[in-house]
Every structure is written in structure tokens, then in C-alpha cells.
């Protein structure tokens, strides 16, 4: 394990500590690794000599007193707020359902485009195969010129399918990343 990977792993295992304590500990272990490297050890050997990341993180957490987490006081709704929510429910509930329907339809439309791209790719592959096979049959049966033209058309479809494969793959990965980012940002907003 490299020094950087070790320090990043250690940082990941100390999420509840105050940032200044984490930086102090990371600096300490960084110096320790550098000292061992100056003594002639390789970077991996120096990191291994320091110890396991899990053990070090457990030791740091046991030595550090964590500040108590403050519990959020839940505010209780007043009677007039409950009445307003109940009376306004036909409006806000229908708006909420409409917003949900719009989000689902956008999601479905985006993935429908991706599915259509993959369907075009599959069609081009099928046309390439059928064009080459039927061209070979036509060439040897009776119509040599038509057979060569079919083989050429099949090869063109094969070339186009190769280009389209990379486009479909990039569009699928990009759409999946976009959906993942949107979902994680919604979760972050919900947790705040």
C-alpha cells in the first residue's frame, strides 16, 4: 500500500473526529512513514511497518473523546398549522402527485431514448449479418453484381454498428451517472 492510499484510508475511517484532530494524526503518520523511508525502507515496507489502518483508526478513536452529537429537537405542529395542512391538502397533495409524475415521466423518457439507441444498434448488427450472408448467396447463385452490392451494404452496416456501439455505451454510462448524481443530491437534501 502506498503512503497516499494509507493516509486516505485512515482519513475515511475517522469521519466523526474534528477535522483538526484528523489532520494532526495524518501528519503524525505521514512523518512516521517518511522517517522509515529515510532509514532505507521502501514506501510499501514503511507503510506496512506502521501497522494496519483499521487498528490505527480504532486506537485513534479510543484515545480521542468525541463530542456528543446534538439531538435535533422536533418541533410540534400547532393546531392552526394542522388545520391549514388539512384544508390545503387538496392543493398541495395534487401538486405533489403531479411533480412525482413529471419526474417519473422524465426518467422514463431519458431511458426510452437509450433503449431506442440500443435497438438501432441491434438492427444494424442484424442488417450487417443478413446483408453479408444474402450477398454471398446471391453472388454464388446467379446475381453476382447484386450479391457484391449486398455484401458492401452489410459491411457498411457492420461499420456503422461499431461506431454506434461506442455511442450507445457512452450514452448509457452518462445517463446512469446523471441519475445516480440526481438521486444522491436528493438524498443529501433530505438529510440536511
Mean pLDDT of the chain: 87
Residue-wise pLDDT for 66-111, tens only, equals: 555 555 667 888 888 888 888 988 898 999 999 999 989 998 999 9
Q: What is the pLDDT of residue 164?
A: 95
Q: What confidence score (pLDDT) does residue 153 get? A: 95
- Bigger pLDDT: 69 vs 137: 137
Q: DSSP character for 64?
A: S
Which pTM does this prediction carry?
0.50
51 Rama class: left (phi>0) / alpha (psi -120 to 50) / beta: left
pLDDT at residue 173, as a whole number = 94
Residue range 102-129: average pLDDT? Answer: 94
Q: Name the grid cell of 76.
A: 410540534
**Residues 25-55: tens digit of each pLDDT:** 888 888 888 888 888 888 888 888 888 888 8
Average pLDDT, integer, range 20-28: 84
CA distances 19 to 11, 15, 26, 58, 192, Å, are 10, 9, 10, 17, 20
55 compared with 112, residue with greater pLDDT: 112
Return d(Cα 159, Cα 132) in angstroms, integer.
13
Q: What does the pLDDT average to over 135-150?
A: 90
Amino acid at each position: 500500500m502506498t503512503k497516499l492510499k494509507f493516509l486516505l484510508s485512515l482519513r475515511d475511517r475517522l469521519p466523526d473526529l474534528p477535522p483538526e484532530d484528523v489532520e494532526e494524526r495524518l501528519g503524525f503518520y505521514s512523518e512516521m512513514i517518511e522517517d522509515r523511508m529515510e532509514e532505507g525502507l521502501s514506501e510499501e515496507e514503511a507503510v506496512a511497518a506502521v501497522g494496519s489502518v483499521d487498528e490505527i483508526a480504532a486506537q485513534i478513536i479510543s484515545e480521542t473523546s468525541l463530542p456528543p452529537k446534538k439531538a435535533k429537537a422536533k418541533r410540534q405542529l400547532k393546531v392552526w398549522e394542522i388545520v391549514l395542512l388539512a384544508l390545503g391538502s387538496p392543493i398541495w397533495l395534487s401538486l405533489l402527485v403531479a411533480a412525482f409524475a413529471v419526474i417519473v415521466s422524465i426518467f422514463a423518457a431519458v431511458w426510452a431514448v437509450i433503449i431506442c439507441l440500443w435497438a438501432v444498434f441491434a438492427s444494424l448488427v442484424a442488417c450487417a449479418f443478413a446483408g453479408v450472408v444474402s450477398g454471398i448467396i446471391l453472388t454464388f447463385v446467379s446475381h453476382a453484381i447484386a450479391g457484391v452490392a449486398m455484401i458492401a451494404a452489410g459491411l457498411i452496416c457492420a461499420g456503422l454498428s461499431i461506431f454506434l456501439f461506442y455511442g450507445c455505451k457512452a450514452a448509457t454510462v452518462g445517463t446512469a451517472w446523471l441519475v445516480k448524481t440526481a438521486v444522491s443530491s436528493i438524498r443529501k437534501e433530505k438529510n440536511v
